[in-house]
Amino acid sequence: MPTAPHRRDPVLQALYLSSAATATTLGLLFSLSALYLTRVAGLGARTVGAGLTIAGIFAIATTFLAGRLCDRYGTRTVMAAAAVIQAAALTGYCLLQGNVALFVLLACALLGAQGVQGTAKVTLVALVFAGSGRTAARAKMRVITNIFVAVGSGLGALTLAIGTASACRSALIAAAVLMLCSPLPLARLTLPSAPPPTPGAPAPLRDRRYLALAALNGVIYVQFEVLTLGLPLWVATRTEASDALIGIFIVLNTAVVTALQVPATRLVNGVPAAGRTVFGATGLLALACVLYPVAAWFDALVASIVLVFAVLVHSCGEVLSEAGGWELAFELADPARPGAYQGVSQTGAAVGAALAPVVITSSALAYGLPGWLFLGGAFVAAGAGTRMLSATTTKPAPATVPQ
């Protein structure tokens, strides 16, 4: 089992290709789905929002259950099944004509399978690599994902520029085909499986420290919606800066992640170092949460400069928090139950993502500076808790294979 994945490692290369396919599909959906569902499929905006909320809650459950499925049936099987379900849901989107029940069903299938697929990929990394190599592999996959999400978003923007219903449906079919292809790079690889756990071995739902760290990571995960939801609305409604900056923020964030995510993993070799890194990262996130409302005090030029600097600070905090969080999720898991443990870790992130819109709109966007300070304080508190829980390297004793 390699500790540091070489760039030509066959499993890592297969994960690159698989991640590129799924990320392109996701990017296309990010830019296309809302307008397709409202303008072409004939659904109301509130209906779409409610349906996606239901699907997001469903995805929390599937994200958790996916880990157990991986331990029982293998990551490759689970990833293939998730890809087929997503492809079927994307194809089903083409048939929507104002049918609300069908939309909710398809959205649950799509988002639920996305959660399953994400857990399966992380579990595969936990199985194939060891030590710091797991965090490094995940960082490299994230860089690939960011790049190809941007590619998919560009394709979605091009589809919207064409503007016809047939163009939108063709793009969805292409995305479905691409999703079906995503498990193929892994098909011929010989992949390891976890040793069967012995009765009484530690389980993630009884591992209080792991559960607490997953919950704290969920709090920190709200940061992603700050960039994609909170900041755009803040810029548009409360500052003198141009709305055109919103697109630049995404480009800046992508550039920082692409440049720094892999180097950041060198700071998190071990549990205590990972905890310290997460704490430092939340300090950067809190600083960004101070700078965002401060930008509202100035004219367009100064506000723009402050916002750009804040996004750069935020992006650095994001990179560090992800690196530290991954290291903790891998290092503190029982190696005989990689799926179950990674399922818990991914579920914490999924809960954070689901609650983030409500948290951000009811704090920062509702109350301005005090709300932003509340968000920053929550990040720092979560980081402090993570550092405290990461002070020692003690982890569950690995379940051994029965003799």
CA distances from 338 to 140, 203, 243, 403 (A): 20, 10, 44, 21
Whether 204-389 and 10-186 are alike in CATH topology: the answer is yes
CA distances from 66 to 123, 189, 202, 339, 364 (A): 10, 21, 18, 7, 34
Check residue 157 and give its pLDDT: 86
Check residue 195 and give its pLDDT: 63
Check residue 333 and give its pLDDT: 92
Rounded Cα–Cα distance for residues 238 and 220 (Å) = 24
Task: Please tell me the chain's helix, strand, coil percentages from 3-state DSSP, rounded to the nearest 5.
Answer: 80, 0, 20
Q: Give the contacts of 250 (CB within 8 A, at least 6 positions apart).
A: 227, 228
Rounded Cα–Cα distance for residues 364 and 234 (Å) = 9
Q: State the CATH class of domain 204-389.
A: mainly alpha
CA angle 132, 138, 140 (to 5 degrees): 105
On the 0-12 / 13-18 / 19+ scale of CB atoms within 10 A, 222 is buried
For 203, list phi and psi in degrees, rounded to 5. -125, 150
Check residue 30 and give its pLDDT: 84
Q: State the CATH class of domain 10-186.
A: mainly alpha
The structure tokens 């303008």 sit at 39
Return the domain boundaries, the chain.
10-186, 204-389
Q: Give the contacts of 259 (CB within 8 A, at least 6 positions apart).
A: none
CA distances from 336 to 69, 141, 333, 341, 398 (A): 14, 23, 9, 10, 6
Check residue 1 and give its pLDDT: 47
Residues of the chain with pLDDT under 70: 1-7, 193-202, 394-403
Check residue 402 and give its pLDDT: 36
The total of other beta-carbon atoms located within 10 Å of residue 118's CB is 22
CB 122 within 8 A of CB 138: yes
